[in-house]
Structure 1
Amino acid sequence: MTDVNLPAIIKNTLPVLDDLTAALGIPRSILASDEEIGSAWSSLPSVLNKIPAELRTEQLAKMCIAVASGLFDSALNYVWNCSIVELREKVKRFGLNVVSQITGKPSFDEQVLIDLKDADLLNLCLKLNLITEDGFYFLDQCRDIRNNFSAAHPGVGNIDNHEFIAFTNRCAKYALNNEYNPVGVDLAGFLIAIKAGKFTPEQTNQWVLRIAKTHEAQQGLIFGTMHGIYCDPASHEEARVNALAITSEFAKGFSPKAKSDFINRHHDYIAKGDEKRHKASQQFFEKLQILDLLDAHEVHSLISNAAKKLMAVHQSYDNFYNEPPFAERLRTLSEQGATPDTVKQELVETIVTCAVGNQYGVSHLATPHYRKLIRGFSPAEVEIMLSLPSEKNILARRMKFSSPCNERYKEFVNLIDPSTVPSKVASAYAEYLK
């Protein structure tokens, strides 16, 4: 970007101002003083250098001429108009059709944009994340100054060189800048694509890139829509898969508002007794690994049901081949936050019983899941595990009558970190390590 170096014209300009005001018979004091003009002129280049070359339009050239003439009120108007034009361009680059979807206005076209009052334009830019909250605050002050102290309206007073430079600097920093301009996602087109058929990896990547480039408010709207599509019993499976694939790319960075919206919609399903959507919503949370957002009693229910299904498969015919997916699901569930105390007994007993197996052996493909689960046991869960052999349960009976089961139990005890063993079961732990 080429730096701005203003010509040294002040020495030639100032005498002309004296002659001009004298010829008209008006006091020289109606214009800025020589000192103020000189100070503003010397400060202008550093401010103008903040503005990209492509935005240094004729309005800014007129602003400079006005400054050289001591007309700070006119100069204010020129730089403000330049700022308003660029803010409109930012909205256009974002996408007028997308703005229409977000604002709910059926026909938000270029003429509607032009007709917006400056205050409404600033509010729209803030909503679209085209300016920051700081930018909105300072530009709104500039709007007020322009309305009361510029040549656009009868002024209520005059501004000096410092106030003018501060005004121009704010416009340059918050309106006339090279900051990243997010581009909105055409929601109507996006939803058509979601429902048209299963995305290819290239399609998924393309939509993820577009969503990543839009602002947080629209992202939240999109995530909520994806949740709704996934939970809708009328949605085709391909649409549900697409919705999950897109949303999962952003799961680790959900904003607090997005999380709140998920929870509110989930609770609405419960309140309305919509069991199908409620179950689908639970699955959505599970797939995105955000179960920690759900209430403890819901997490309890999910883990308990998964444990029951695993135990049922474990005790059924051909269990060694059927266990792995059930073991994996239980592991996935238990890794998504702290396990509620109310379900720890059932969880630990199921994991350890299935891990130890029976007199015929174990499910080798499920064993890695069991090992990982046991390594991650909390002190409370370790205490439950070390207490199981002395209680009345399937594990205790197997260990009593099968030495291979007994040996496998000892192997799993060796996976426990000594630092997690409560003193209450320390002696049992030491005994099994012998």
Structure 2
Amino acid sequence: MAEIAPEAGFLRNGKLKTALLQHQSFSSSWLSERLFGLLFSGLVYPQIWEDPEVDMEAMELSAGHRIVCIGSGGCNMLAYLSRSPAAIDVVDLNPHHIALNKLKLAAFRALPSHPQLVRFLSQENERGNSTAFQHTIAPQLDPATRSYWQKRGLSGRRRIAVFNRNIYRTGLLGRFIAAGHILARLHGVKLSDLAQARSLREQRHFFDTQIAPLFDKPTIRWLTSRKSSLFGLGIPPQQYDELASLATDGSIAPVLRQRLEKLACHFPLRENPFAWQAFVRRYPQPHEGVLPAYLKQENYEAIRACADRVEVHHATFTELLTTKSAGTVDRYVLLDAQDWMNDQQLNELWSEITRTATPGARVIFRTAAEKSIIEGRISPALREQWNYLQPRSEELNLQDRSAIYGGFHIYERRA
């Protein structure tokens, strides 16, 4: 699979342009798509924003399964390795995500202990991390990825130096969260104070008295009525339209309030690393809460042992599947990518999924709105070959700690 240089921007990334540009040139929708593409051409997700523990339950993931998944920040792929799959193919259109996935895999292979891994991948203000990279991790990387992390920016610092500080405060998502904190502070609310809550009741009180009123502020309602306001969450124009379909007054502020309420109130803070990143902008310390699945000590040895079973590709999901033989894939993880697709792209994707799926294979994905994106859009001939596990989907959607999606969906290949 051909690679693309991580320095290549949106204008040179043909795969990303094809995925994003759906409208005629110079229309308002085309301009929105192009602006999103320019933002998306850098690092977007330093971490994923889908709960891999829900994913593994939905897939009933076990040893020997062969998986194709979208890379994003790489945390999901690493978590899946804890179940000892036979192989994982990771695809992503963003070359910065490719470099990050390869770095995280190399860290598991190279760093000799779990504490050193956690120090490198999750703790802030660890100035020895770039040294650990240079002496231990870099030799595990291919030349292009090693060069990417060693490249110096305008500040004169190498890219890898971000791990000395806090990588989760970088990228499009990290900057969006920072902007949200600044906006809240301008309205007198310090979001990180949620970390002081010691119970779900206290979390609820903080949300109701401090966070919820923000969504009634004219400035915030004005901002959230514009598509570009959510580009920092990695939400493209097509996905914004899905969210807007749930709104009644032109602003999606009530929809965002509902999603943030789930994140802040539905799970104990100690058990939700997504809430820590959103409200505190870091992962918890051991006395404060749990780390994400891929960083838990009980998963370390299994992930490390399986790290060589992953291949990372700069490719679309459909493109990668065309290289697979029929009946050779057991599990598919689409994240929310289908929200970006037109009907032709959906049918091309599901044609390849159906061709490559083993009997009983499962596909999981998320949607901005509640309904499944493929119902009524893929051909009846394809749809009839899959069972929609709707009750189980709805059950697991309630358990998804990331909280930002409207729907979680599981489809199973009929035997």
Instruction: Normalising by structure 2, report the TM-score.
Output: 0.23
With structure 1 as the length reference, what TM-score do the two structures score?
0.22
Higher relative contact order (CA 8 A, sep 6+): 2
Q: Which has the larger share of strand?
A: 2
Higher helix share goes to which structure?
1
